[in-house]
Amino acid sequence: MGVVVGRRRRWGVPVLLLAYLGYVGLGAGVLQALERPAEVRAARRLIQQRWELLANHTCLQGPALQRLIQGIIEAYKSGVTIQGNTTSLGRWDFSGSFFFSISAITTIGYGNLSPSTAAGRIFCILFALFGIPLNLVLMNEIGQLMLLGVQRSAHHLEEMFHWKIKAALLMKTCALVMGLLLFLLLPPLLFSNKEGWTYEESFYYSFITLSTIGFGDYVIGMNPDRTYPSWYKNVISLWILFGMAWLALIIKCCINLLESSSDFCQCNRKSIELLEDVMDDDKKNMTGLHSVETCNGKDTKAGGPGGCHTHTDSTEAL
């Protein structure tokens, strides 16, 4: 039975993962189609306003400067910033849309980027409505697969070295250390290199992201002065998926530990109550047996069955 369940889980995760990636890819494509034209229009409008200001105004005036500032703010909301005589695009390309889709259905919600078109907002609602349950199912399957791997490794160690408690404890410790390295300790080195953050800021971003808190004060790939490789956001998206599954498994283990300790305390209380009841019953039984022995002694001395009424009463009571 366990082998059948293991095979189903082993085949179920790749299928779910493909469905998950296909769903996120579909969302990224639709969001790119809906949001990219608005991003391009905002970029063109910002460049046009900038050149008009430089050509027509040798001395800046209040209304002209206010219009420029307003245009900059609106463009920034769409993910557009000025770099020299050009603008930076990239928040709504496919990798940016893919990362936004991941942050939406994982409920991280950084808040630094959102759809600016009505069609994009409506699609985002529908996309999250079906994507959030799919994300939860996939994370649960990945977490169970991780747990199954730890249990099987511990079982192999028990068979090889005849360990029992030590094997399970060793594998759980290894899984915890490997998870800390892969999801919390090593990724900040990459963020420090690509984003220019300190290790502390990168570690902070890692935990805030994987715990789905998502303050939005630190978000990858948003610095217009830096050039990011095309694989960067896609790899980080997968890191978020598997890291959230691992962290959810750790949180679940902590919850189980707290529940088991609570059950242990309740069992101790019940055991004490049961022991007290048994001791009371023993005292009552010992009293009854003492009465019976006394009566038996009297019967022997009297030489007749009617020599003691206590014997008859105790027998009836028993």
What are the C-alpha distances in Å from 17 to residues 9, 131, 135, 238, 262? Answer: 12, 13, 10, 10, 36
CA atoms lying within 13 Å on the CB side of residue 317: 13
Beta-bridged to residue 86, according to DSSP, are: 83
Percentage of the chain modeled with pLDDT above 90: 29
The average pLDDT across 2-12 equals 61
Q: Would you identify the CATH topology of the domain 91-284? A: Helix Hairpins (1.10.287)
With CA atoms as reference, report the closest residue to 125 among 104, 103, 139.
104
Tokens of 8: 């189903």
Look-up: residue for tokens 């790749």? 14
| Residue 303 banded pLDDT, cuts 50, 70, 90 | very low
* CA 219 and chain centroid, separation: 18
- Please state the three-class secondary structure of the chain as a single string: CHHHHHHHHHHHHHHHHHHHHHHHHHHHHHHHHHHHHHHHHHHHHHHHHHHHHHHHCCCCCHHHHHHHHHHHHHHHHCCCEEECCEEECCCCCHHHHHHHHHHHHCCCCCCCCCCCCHHHHHHHHHHHHHHHHHHHHHHHHHHHHHHHHHHHHHHHHHHHHCCCHHHHHHHHHHHHHHHHHHHHHCHHHHHHHHHCCCHHHHHHHHHHHHCCCCCCCCCCCCCCCCCCCCCHHHHHHHHHHHHHHHHHHHHHHHHHHHHHHHHHHHHHHHHHHHHHHHHHHHHHHHHHHHHHHHHHHHHHHHCCCCCCHHHHHHHHHC
pLDDT exceeds cutoff 60 at 299: no
pLDDT in tens, 230-284: 889 889 999 999 999 998 888 888 887 777 765 555 555 555 566 566 556 655 5
pLDDT exceeds cutoff 50 at 307: no
CA atoms lying within 13 Å on the CB side of residue 14: 4
CA atoms lying within 13 Å on the CB side of residue 197: 23
pLDDT at 188: 97
Hey, how many other C-beta atoms are within 10 angstroms of the C-beta on 278? Answer: 10
pLDDT at 164: 64
C-alpha Rg value of the chain to the nearest Å: 35
The average pLDDT across 93-99 equals 88
Percentage of the chain modeled with pLDDT above 70: 71
